[in-house]
Structure formats: structure tokens, C-alpha cells
Amino acid sequence: MKIISKITNAVIIAALVLGVSSCGSDDDGNIIIPTDNIVITATADTDLSLLVAALAAADGDLVSVLSGTGPFTVLAPTDTAMQAYLTANNYADIAAIPTDELQQLLLNHVIPGEVNSTTLTNNGAGYTETSSTAGPGGTTISMYYNTTSGVVFNGVATVTTPDVAASNGIIHKIDAVIGLPDVTTFATADPNFSRLVEGLTAYSFDYVTTLQGDGPFTVFAPNNAAFDALLATNTDWNTPADIEESTLESALNLHVIPSENTREADLTDGSVITLSGLINVDATAKTVNDGADPANVGTIVTSDVQATNGVIHMIDGVLLTPVVIISGR
């Protein structure tokens, strides 16, 4: 990995700053169209100086990329956010970050197309793709947003200044750097998985550590409705922690395919081996079942939530096949 030894901010600024204009209205109410691209607009903002330095330092000539036609939506960490990230990760400065890693980290803050805050708020919550290709085999990384309390990305970064217009897109200033996600990032960020998280942490399971590993994993992740339907089948079950440990462990294992990053388009009909045994996939119907009970079927309701170490498909049912011993495991 290449690591740059020095960044001279004066050189960067001299190379990038050509002036800045904003999008607004003149005294007659006419709309002023911005003429400066995202890089120039960011360079003119003194609160984004570390981000500008990072763009110049990273692999991939990101300055040229974000000066291109676009459009792009850039989630721009403020200097305070960037410094907090450097401190938390024991980096002395931007130059200490390996430039290939820096490239993917920054691309994780770039959403193709122009997405303003009104669109995000109207959508409420959901997933989008970033420009990072840090997923297995160069797959693009997903981003979760939720507007219940402000506009929040991956549960860690809140928009502080929205809709800064540029000629080739839009900038939303945010209060934290958004790290590259593993599959547990989305489980904790998306409230639709809160019951699943309860299950993963109910006993002395090592699931969180496992799912933060290299993978890759394909996870059929039951949503809250799936778990609530399961809990309703037993009067003694109010939360996943009320389910007997071995039953819950078997069920959780049954939803994880190891050593594969299988996106929806690559699903095929037939049986696949999970951490707990076999499940059946119907690629056309977009369902998975355990084969033991016709009622134990999960339909994929959200697919291809891509992390660095695997992919999540949200399903609306919980599979319950007892543990199956797999040779070699």
C-alpha cells in the first residue's frame, strides 16, 4: 500500500481554488445557477479543509472525479468530524492513512446522482448505493439513511448543513466520518433489525465478532415483523432472549451462508449450506425455507444490502430447522 509522506495545503488550495459562487436568488428573485463544481465549492469552505486535503491525497484522482460531469451527492465531513476520525483511528494526520484505503473511505461518502434533503426526507428511510467498490469482488457498498430525527446515514453521521449546491451535484455537510460498513453495521443502523440484534446478543453467542470478520457472508436477515410473528407462537416468548438458547442459536445459524457474497441476481433454485445446515432457495419467488415446515418461509423484501464483508437480504420470516451437523465443521 502506498502512503504519501507529506501534503502541502497551500499547494492543494492554489491548484483548486478558482473562485466560488452559490445557488440562490438575486434581488429580482431570479435563480442563480452555481458555476463551481463540488471540489471548488468544498475548497472555498474553511470547514471542509481536511476533506479537500483527503481528496487530493487519496488514490483514484478523486479531485478530477468530483470535478467531472456528475451529478454527485457528497456527504462532506466537517473538519471537526475528520479530526475525530483521525484521533479515533490513531492517525497523526491525513498523510498517515494508506491512500488506497482513503480512496474507498471517501468514495463511501459519494452517492451517484443528485439527492437533496427533501427527497431523503420524503423517502423517510431506505438504502442507496455509494461509489465505493470495497465489497467482495469490487461490488459497490450500500448506505442506509433514516430521517426520523434529522437526516442520518448508517446510524453515525447526521447532516448539519444540507443542500449546498454545486454545478455538478450537491453537498450535505455531516458531523461524522462514515466508516466502511460490515454486515453488523446495517443490523444496528436499521431499526427494522432491532429484534435480530436482540437475538444476536441474547446469549454468549459470538455472532457479532464473527459477522465483523473477513467473510464473505450472505445473510438472510429476518426483520422485526418476522421475529414478532415467531414470538407470537409461544406465550412464554416476549423477546428473542426468551427463546431457548440452542433453538435460537440454530435458527440464527440457519440464516448465514459462509464464504459467499451471493446477490439476488446470483441466487439459484436449490439447496444451500448455511452455518446450521441446508435451506432451500426459490430464486423466482424470492423465498427461502428450511424444508421442515412449509410455514417456515421467508420472502426477500429488501435485497442486496452490500457491506465490505458480505451481503444482506432482509426476509419476512424466521427459519427454525434444528441444528444439522455438517461434516468438516
Higher pLDDT, 284 or 322: 284
CATH class of residue range 9-174: mainly beta
The answer to whether the beta carbons of residues 314 and 302 sit under 8 Å apart is: yes
- pLDDT over 70, % of the chain: 87
- Joined together, the cell numbers standing for residue 312 give 444482506
Question: Tell me, what's the pLDDT at 296?
Answer: 81
Looking at this protein, which amino acid is placed at residue 290? D
Q: What is the mean pLDDT of residues 244-269?
A: 96
| pTM for the whole structure | 0.88
pLDDT band at 119 (very low <50, low <70, confident <90, very high): very high
Q: What integer pLDDT is reported at residue 34 of this predicted model?
A: 80
Return d(Cα 318, Cα 35) in angstroms, integer. Answer: 52
Q: What is the mean pLDDT of residues 222-246?
A: 96
* CA 141/CA 139 separation, integer angstroms: 7
Q: Which fold has domain 183-315?
A: FAS1 domain (2.30.180)
Q: Are 20 and 41 in contact (CB under 8 A)?
A: yes
Q: Tens digits of per-residue pLDDT, 169-228?
A: 999 999 999 999 999 999 999 999 999 999 999 999 989 999 999 999 999 999 999 999
Strand segments, DSSP code E, in 82-184 are 110-112, 125-129, 142-146, 152-153, 157-166, 169-174
| Amino acid at residue number 78 | T
Which tens digits make up the pLDDT trace of 296-316?
A: 899 999 999 999 999 999 999
Angle at 93 between CA 92 and CA 95, to 5 degrees: 115
User: Could you tell me the pLDDT band of residue 294, with boundaries at 50, 70 and 90?
Assistant: low
pLDDT of residue 35: 83
Identity at 288, one-letter amino acid code: V
Flag whether pLDDT at 24 surpasses 80. no
Q: What pLDDT was estimated at residue 290?
A: 87
DSSP letter at 47 equals G
Pinpoint the residues of the chain covered by CATH 2.30.180.10: 9-174, 183-315
The per-residue pLDDT for range 60-114, each reduced to its tens digit, is 999 999 999 999 999 999 999 999 999 999 999 999 999 999 999 999 999 999 9
| CA 107 – CA 133 distance, rounded (Å) | 8
Q: Distance between CA 222 and CA 187 in Å, rounded?
A: 10
Mean of per-residue pLDDT scores for the chain: 90
What's the first-to-final CA gap in the chain, in angstroms?
A: 35
Segment 121-157, tens digit of pLDDT: 999 999 999 999 999 999 999 999 999 999 999 999 9
**175: region left, alpha or beta (phi > 0 left; psi from -120 to 50 alpha):** alpha
Cis status, amide bond into 181, omega within 30 of 0? no
Res 29: pLDDT = 54
Query: Which residue in the block uniquely carries the three cell numbers 436449490?
Result: 270
